[in-house]
Structure 1
Amino acid sequence: MSLGHQLKLRTQWWLILLAASVLVIVLTADRTMLRLDNAFYDRLLQLGAPAPGQSVLMVEIDDESIARLGRWPWNRGIHAALIDRIKAGQPRAIAYDVLFTEPGDPAVDALLAGSIAAARPIFLPMVPPAPGLSGVAAAPVLPIAPVRQAASGIGYATIDPDADGVVRSATVAAGPAQHLMALAALAATSPARPADHLAMPVGARLIPFGAGGGHWPGVSAAAVLAGQVPPELLRDRVVLVGATATGLGSRYPTPTGSVMSGLEIEANLVNGLISRTMIRPAGMPARLGLGLLPLVVLMIGLGPWRRMPAMVVFALCAGVVVAIAALCLLVWRLWLPPGAALAGLAVAYPLWGWRQLAVIEQFMRVQLLRLEQEPSILPRVALVGAVKHGVAGTIALLHAAIARNREMQHFVADRLDQLPDATLVADLPGRIVMANAAAHRLFTTFGHPIIPGATQAQALLSAVRLVGSGNPVPFPPEVEEPATHEVQRDQAHFYLVGMAPQTQADGQRAGWIIRFVDISESKAAQRQRDDVVQLLTHDMRSPQASILAVLETAPADRIAPVEASAIRHYAERTLRLADGFVQLARAEYLEYTLEEVELGDMLIDAIDDLWPQSRAKAIEIVTHGDEQMLVMGERSLLTRALGNVIGNAIKYSPDGTTITCTLTRQVRADGSAWGLCTIADQGCGMDEDLRARMFERFARGPVGLGPKTSGAGLGLSFVHTVMVRHHGVISCETEPGKGTTFTLALPIKD
């Protein structure tokens, strides 16, 4: 991806992180996600429901009690008797949730006050203050004075459902006033300080409801009055007295999914206070931490340091949020609402994915348009329809690029199959990715069939061995340049293995191209040539030398002079023919050892070697030019080539003539410097037909125009071969009767 697109994506990453963080802060502050948080809280609360409490007992003014004791409200004497019965069981504390705010019969009120005083600790409810018409809170409505003075404490017993109507929390203490059930719980746990409201937490606390309603122990008030409840059931318990009869007691939905009476909700509250399992809502810093930290982790995981798939990162972050919220609630009794955190993750993840896709789509479009404008060796694939803009345009460009790539792959595979040599394409580890038909045929005969994408190049190279050492072919090559090895399968099959590195457009190494060239026929021809050279250099030269030796040592009367002269002539001619053929073979196939040599020195050496022949014909050889010209060459072969040209000039020139050898330097149009050696004679010259074929083997002449000479016709062929292998040029200018000029040109070493 280009630097501009990367910078744009990085900027958008920060903007998304900032926007999602602001969203999390807003959602955390205004509790927009309250419904989701409540649903999650209700589910978790059912998983961690406390065991049924044994410290709380409900005495219910239920339908049975109304039926047995009469309609409501009861005479206060009945309440006094009920309190006396409960006191006889020796409970820890009594919370009597019945209002006594209006005076009645003084004697009965005094009786009730006496029973309350005897049953301490006992706590009575009051009507909490309500805001008046002017907005100022009215005074609370307290129980009548005798009853209030006899009670251990007065508290409010209101139940405040949440906005969805479900009761989840209770305000335990608010300033100097406390909840009635909090007073009873405090009296049960701290009998010495039954009215110490400082021991209670201020503010709302979440009630640890059980898994379902109706599991708290409860008895009918009528049964208690009738003595049907054993005192042991009341002993050491907090007794809650309240109305649950139809039409008297209110009922509320709870997080457990069931509907509970107000008295049962108060029983859950008292049990939570006594067992210290009340659930604390987390403060703003903790809630912001839960919302922002997973968001930062998600953005880091999706952005700069991405190591996992985006969906996995999102799932992990969401799972961590849920796990932390559940762990805090079930273990530490702390409620961390996860709604804002999950909302931040749910917004950031698709938003970042959308922006990533948008930037990538822009980048792809730019690259695809650039690719579309590049020249192609194949016919272009027409775009689908006429779409040029938007995602549909990018898809069309991508479709064209894919089709173009497929056509290129097909084209490369076809051209590869058309190569006559076995050719392999391997990736960087050496796995074969492409092989042409010749390669499949070759390695099938080797017993190593090629399976693209599975076969290793090293396994195929193990089928051959390096010529000479017998070692395996090294792969990959130790050098980065193309390497060539001569290998053999057996004594009859030889190959040249070429390996060249394959690079990408940016120059990085991508793999290898390996080619097998069958040189079995050339190796066989080379063996035959070596045999011929051996035949000429030894098997033919030895008998001819023996013939000449016999002629030299035989008595004069044994061989007639005429026959001896003829035999000598043919033997010497055979030796010259063999020597010329051997020299030509050396020039054609010898591995040259190049060195710096001076062209003028080699010319002088060639002239000196031919001094006897030139003197015999009184031919003067003149040289011009003394500038030093260094060339890279094989000295003996170049000297012999110069000698062959000068020797031909001597051979075909009349006696008493002059041969002129001139050395000059020439700078060509491309700036390269060449050394020229021009050898001109005053001989008979050559006609056009002979000039056209004078570098062919066994081409001799001009026999009809000049003096009769002997030769094998291999001299100029040797000269031509030596010049070509030295990257030089030989040319000839001649006319019949006007002599011949040969020019030998060699590149001068810089």
Structure 2
Amino acid sequence: MILRRGLKLRTQWWLIAIATSLLVVGMTMDRTTMRIDNLIYDHLLQASFSASSPPSSKPIMLVEIDDDTIRRLGRWPWSRATHAALIDRLSAGRPKAIAYDVLFTEEGDPNEDRLLGQSAASSPIFFPMLPAVTANEGTAPAALMPISPIRAAAAGVGYATIDPDADGVVRSATTVAGAQGQWHHLMGLVAGFAAGREVTDARARLIPFSGGQGRWPEVSAAAVLAGEVPPELLQDKIILVGATASGLASRYPTPTGSVMSGLEIEAYLLQGLRDGAMIRPAGLWPCLALALLPLWVLMTLLGPVRRLPALASFALCAALVLGSCAAALILWRLWLPPGAALTGLAIAYPLWGWRQLAVIEQFMRVQLERLDHEPSLVPQAEPSRKERGVAYTIRLLRAAITRDREMRHFLTDRLDQLPDATLVLDLQGRVVIANAAAHALFTSIGIAIDGTASAAALLQCFRQTGSGDAVPFPPIGEDPAMCEVQVEQARFFLIGMAAQTSTEGARVGWVIRFVDISEAKSAQRQRDDFVQLLTHDMRSPQASILAVLETASPDRISARESVAIRHYAESTLRLADEFVQLARAENLEYALEQVELSDMLMDAIDDLWPQSKAKSIDIVTRGDEPLLVMGERSLLTRALGNVIGNAIKYSPQGTTITCTLRRETRRDGTIWAYCAITDQGPGMDADLRMTIFERFRRGPVGLGPKTSGAGLGLSFVHTVVVRHHGEIECESEPGRGTTFTFSLPSTTECDRNGAQVS
């Protein structure tokens, strides 16, 4: 299912990437996003060229026919003699060139026309024309040129129209128009004359507006005619003459955010052409590259193997687009329209997010339905099967959350019922759940378990018994053993830690249990005191009694009383010795070594030879193969001796005791050593056989010879064998003898030839 879902998501990724790419290519080719491009261009232009050079460094000067000029010289239009006088004043300052943006396309007074032509011939001057005047039907449109005296005297004639974009903002200009470049822009001619080269590029260029209104030196035409402008101010300047008066000149919005007159716009155009600073619109291929490259970067970052957050990826790609546009505009005077690229990003980002959410919602619904069908410890309400889509998934999710809360509540209640203090931790050791016993334990030592409690801090309150070291967390090793700790003078605990794993087997946390063993430790101390009492305080008086009997004169104690006192003293010593041996077997830390079972059997038989000889009992051994086991030699030898001694004790005179040794391989492949001790005594019934290894249980009474003992020998045997991880069995029937079988894990293996390898 996971693989199928991954393939489905990958297919959708490819479909979204390809479809969005085709859409972006279409928008790039038909300029669908022109409004967005213009908006971004205007803001970038304002930010990029706001720090242009001050007006004083510009070689261009504006001579404006403004409102003050109209007021001083009279209403428009002026006589051509007035224009001739203005040109003469300007020529007297020896400017580099004059662009006189006033149309003279109609014949006037011949004398004034001739005078105007003579004035125009005194300086390099350029005049405008009308490039496309509609002629009669069937004829091609012809240019409307200035009158012949002016055309003959002018350094150049060109069109001076301004073409705003569809939104009314002036951003670009074309320097060559008409068939085969027959018409040239007036400012292109002036710029070519000033720079010494012809401007013939027919493609539209973006005007490099570098500021708002008033960035050029401006003088009034009336001031020039009145001689108020020093000729030195006009020297080597490129002078633009045009109308700026209200109602006389058109004004246009520009990308700078300000409204400019046509004369000011022509000044920016002239400056850009003269300096070669016109902004070039990028061609189709660079625009396609800008539109597609960020889109595929975004889709790669948002792909099935995500490397960055989705929003960060989108922001990074959008910044890449805008940064590329700004860098190209500032460094190379190249305009890369970003609208199509940003639109593609804006479409791909939510579309891919929507498809991811759809796949995630489907996956969640399937998993929640599977969880809903699993058995739960806490009854839950069935989700409505009538609901579909997101509402159904939300209902399933709400049911799963409720189920999780109920399970947590159920788990917390069960943990609170545990008698031992228990902590549930996350992988970092923070306490997730603490049962009531844990709260009570740590409250008693002055620590409160809250949301910030950690296992490492809580375990610092405990010290390991013996070493006094703190309990390490996390525990050392994969399967840490329980350790005994002490928190106060008389409070002892066993601390056990276990790792929590998820259903996939990954470790997700820890469980720590604190078992109070204070009472057990107190009982252990009492038992040690009792053993000390038996080993010293009770044995010493009995030994003294026997010493008195040995040294007392016969006339002071009668023989009969002496025998009775000796019997009771020896019985007390024997009972104390058996108690001590049993306590030693139960509590001694065994020092295990590899020992031979047959050797220990022979040692036990040798120790009991006087008793067997006294009753004429033969002890026969069968099976002499070496059987190696890991054990404590003295305890195992005594256990074998106890069983053989009981066999001698309960067997009639002249009988035989058989000791059989053998090796056996069990079904799990382990090798065990067996020693079976069989006597010919009176045997035991089933009830006695079931309880023969309990304390103070005696052998058969009434069926054999009368014997003495405390009934602790077989309890000692059972304890020793169990602590060696072995087994002991008893088989007996009344009148047919008894067989005790020892079985211990063997460390002996055999090769194919029967040779023993340890």
TM interval, short-chain normalised: 0.7 to 0.9
Q: Distance in 2 between matches of 1:131 and 1:508?
A: 86
Give the aligned partner of residue 156 of structure 1: 159
Contact 2:93 2:231 in 1 (8 A): yes
Displacement, 1:114? 1.3
Deviation, 1:35, is: 0.8
Q: What secondary structure, in the 3-state scheme, does the structure 1 residue paired with 2:98 have? A: strand
Structure-2 separation of matches of 1:667 and 1:42: 94
Alignment check: 8 A CA contact 2:689 2:730 kept: no
Decide whether aligned partners of structure 1 residues 383 and 95 sit closer, same or farther in structure 2, where only a CA change above 3 A counts. farther
Q: Distance in 1 between matches of 2:730 and 2:381?
A: 56
Check whether the contact 1:423–1:439 (CA below 8 A) recurs between aligned residues. Answer: yes
Once residues 518 and 542 of structure 2 are traced to their aligned partners in structure 1, the CA distance between those partners, rounded to angstroms, is: 35
Deviation of 1:98 (Å): 2.8
SS, match of residue 695 in structure 2: coil
Structure 2: distance between partners of 1:407 and 1:466: 38
The residue that corresponds to 1:184 in the other structure is 190
Aligned pair in 2 of structure 1 residues 134, 459: CA closer, same or farther (>3 Å)?
A: farther
Rounded Cα–Cα distance in structure 1 between residues aligned with 2:148 and 2:602:
150
Contact 1:96 1:123 in 2 (8 A): yes
1:366-387 Cα distance to aligned partner (Å, 9 max, x none): 44344445454x1353343225
Q: 1:586 to 1:116 in 2, by over 3 A?
A: same
1:394-442 per-residue CA deviation (whole Å, 9 max, x = no partner) reads 3333333323332332233223222222222333333333322222222
Is the Cα contact below 8 Å between 1:600 and 1:626 reproduced in 2? Answer: yes
| Counterparts of 1:723 and 1:578, CA distance in 2 | 22
Aligned to 1:729, what secondary structure does the other structure show?
strand
Match of 1:439 in 2: 438
More displaced stretch, 425-434 vs 583-592: 425-434
Match for residue 197 of structure 1? 198
* Partner of residue 98, structure 1: 102
Matched, 1:336 2:336: yes
Quote the residue 2:753 is aligned against. none
Answer whether contact 2:133 2:144 (CA < 8 A) is retained. Answer: no
Q: Distance in 1 between matches of 2:639 and 2:629?
A: 15
**Cα–Cα, structure 1 residues 65 and 649, in superposed 2: closer, same or farther, change >3 Å?**
closer
Looking at structure 1, the residues matched to 364 and 660 of structure 2 have their Cα atoms a distance apart, in angstroms, of: 68
Q: Is the 1:130–1:140 Cα contact (8 Å) retained in structure 2?
A: yes
For 2:263 and 2:668, locate their aligned partners in 1 and report how far apart those are by CA, in whole Å: 111
User: Contact 1:629/1:748 (CA < 8 Å) preserved in 2?
Assistant: no
The question of whether the paired residues in 2 share the 8 Å contact of 1:661 and 1:677 is answered with: yes
By how many angstroms is 1:568 displaced?
A: 1.4
**Counterparts in 2 of 1:702 and 1:135: CA distance versus 1, 3 Å:** farther
Structure 1 residues 356 and 245: CA distance shift in structure 2, 3 A = same
Q: Which runs of 5+ in 2 are unaligned?
A: 750-758
Partner of 1:403: 402
Indicate if the aligned counterparts of 2:493 and 2:518 stay in contact, CA closer than 8 A. yes
C-alpha distance 85-674 of structure 1, shift in aligned 2 (>3 A): closer
Amino acid of the residue matched to residue 157 of structure 1?
A: A
* Structure 1 residues 293 and 133, CA gap change in structure 2 (3 angstroms): farther
Shift in alpha-carbon separation, 1:603–1:144, aligned structure 2, 3 A: same
Distance in 2 (alpha carbons) for counterparts of 1:484 and 1:164: 83
The match for 1:656 is 654
Local SS of the residue matching 2:175: strand
Q: Using the TM superposition, name which of 302-311 and 665-674 deviates more.
A: 665-674
Counterpart position of 1:385:
384
Partner secondary structure for residue 127 of structure 1: strand
Q: Is the 8 A contact 1:680 1:739 kept in 2?
A: no
Distance in 2, matches of 1:638 and 1:70, equals 139
- State which drifts further: 644-653 or 514-523: 644-653
Question: Residue by residue, what CA displacement relative to the aligned partner does 1:499-549 show, whole Å, maximum 9, x if unpaired?
Answer: 233333333333332222222222222222222222222232233233323
Structure 1 window deviating more from structure 2 (672-681 vs 400-409): it is: 672-681
Equivalent residue letter for 2:34: L
Describe the superposition over 1:49-69 as per-residue Cα deviations: whole angstroms up to 9, x where unpaired: 555576444444567766776
1:295-334 matches, cutoff 5 A: 295-303=295-303, 306=306, 308-326=308-326, 328-329=328-329, 333-334=333-334
The one-letter code of the counterpart of 2:319 is: G
Q: 1:324 deviation in Å?
A: 4.2
Q: Distance in 2 between matches of 1:18 and 1:427?
A: 45
Residue pair 2:456, 2:473 contacting (<8 A) in 1 also: yes
2:482 partner SS = strand
CA–CA separation in structure 2 for the residues paired with 1:311 and 1:578: 84
Contact 1:129 1:137 in 2 (8 A): no
Partners of 2:686 and 2:328 lie apart in 1 by 110
Q: CA deviation at 1:122?
A: 0.6
Q: Secondary structure at the match of 2:461?
A: coil
Give the Å deviation of 1:197. 1.5
Secondary structure (helix, strand or coil) at the match of 2:345 reads: helix
1:654–1:683 CA contact under 8 A, matched in 2 = yes
After superposition, the C-alpha distances for 1:668-696 in whole angstroms (9 at most, x for unaligned) are 77777665554444444445665554333
Q: 1:744 aligns with which of 741, 745, 748?
A: 741
Identity rate, percent: 66
Matching residue of 1:121: 124
What code does the residue aligned with 2:155 have?
S
Determine if the alignment matches structure 1 residue 145 to structure 2 residue 142: no
Paired residues of 1:674 and 1:745 also in contact (CA < 8 A): no
Aligned twin of 1:509: 507
Q: How many residues align?
A: 739
Structure 1: segments with no counterpart, 5+ residues: none
The amino acid of 2:392's aligned partner reads: G
Are the structure 2 counterparts of residues 462 and 222 from structure 1 closer, same or farther at C-alpha, using a change threshold of 3 Å?
closer
Q: Secondary structure at the match of 1:709?
A: coil
In 1: Cα distance, 2:489 partner to 2:11 partner: 69
- SS at 1:462 equivalent: helix
Partners of 1:695 and 1:263 lie apart in 2 by 123
Task: Tell me the CA shift for residue 288 of structure 1.
Answer: 3.8
Q: Is the 8 A contact 1:580 1:714 kept in 2?
A: yes
Secondary structure of the structure 2 residue equivalent to 1:164:
coil
RMSD (CA atoms): 3.6
Matched ranges for 1:136-285 at <5 A: 138-174=141-177, 175=181, 177-187=183-193, 189-190=194-195, 193=196, 196-198=197-199, 201-209=201-209, 212-213=212-213, 221=221, 224-225=224-225, 231=231, 234-244=234-244, 249-274=249-274, 277-285=277-285
For the structure 1 residues 305 and 702, does the alpha-carbon distance in structure 2 shift closer, same or farther, using more than 3 Å as the test? closer
Could you tell me how far apart the structure 2 residues matched to 1:375 and 1:109 are? 108
1:609 to 582, 607, 610: 607
- 3-state DSSP of counterpart to 2:476: coil
- 1:637 is matched with 635
Q: Which amino acid aligns with 1:30?
A: D
Q: Which amino acid aligns with 1:41?
A: Y
Q: Deviations over 1:637-673 (max 9, x none)?
A: 3333333233223323333344444556677777776
How far the C-alpha of 1:186 sits from its partner, in A, is 4.0
TM-aligned CA deviation for residue 123 of structure 1: 0.7
Residues in 1 aligned to 2:7 and 2:541: alpha-carbon distance in whole angstroms = 89
Distance 2:590 2:68 in 1: 126
Which of 88, 94, 115 aligns to 2:92? It is 88
Counterpart among 452, 455, 458 of residue 457 in structure 1: 455
Q: Is contact 1:497–1:517 with CA below 8 Å preserved after alignment?
A: yes
**How far apart are residue 284 of structure 1 and its match?**
3.9
Distance 1:272 1:384 in 2: 73
1:559 aligns to 2:557 (yes or no): yes
The code of the aligned residue for 1:79 comes to H
Instruction: Name whichever of 505-514 and 363-372 sits farther off.
Output: 363-372
The equivalent residue for 2:756 is none
- Residue 413 (structure 2) aligns with: 414
Asked if structure 1 preserves the Cα contact closer than 8 Å seen for 2:211 and 2:256, the reply is yes
Q: Tell me the secondary structure at the aligned position of residue 131 of structure 2.
A: coil
CA deviation string 1:66-87 (max 9, x = no partner)? 6776776554334333322333
Does the C-alpha gap of structure 1 residues 746 and 330 become closer, same or farther in structure 2, counting only changes over 3 Å?
same
The answer on 1:38 being equivalent to 2:41 is no
1:111 aligned residue:
115
User: For residues 316 and 665 of structure 1, do their structure 2 counterparts lie closer, same or farther at Cα, with a shift above 3 Å needed?
Assistant: closer
Distance 1:80 1:692, change over 3 A: closer
Instruction: Determine the C-alpha separation between the residues in 2 that align with 1:205 and 1:280.
Output: 5
Structure 1 residue 323, shift from structure 2 partner: 4.2
For 1:639 and 1:149, the matched residues in 2 are separated by 142
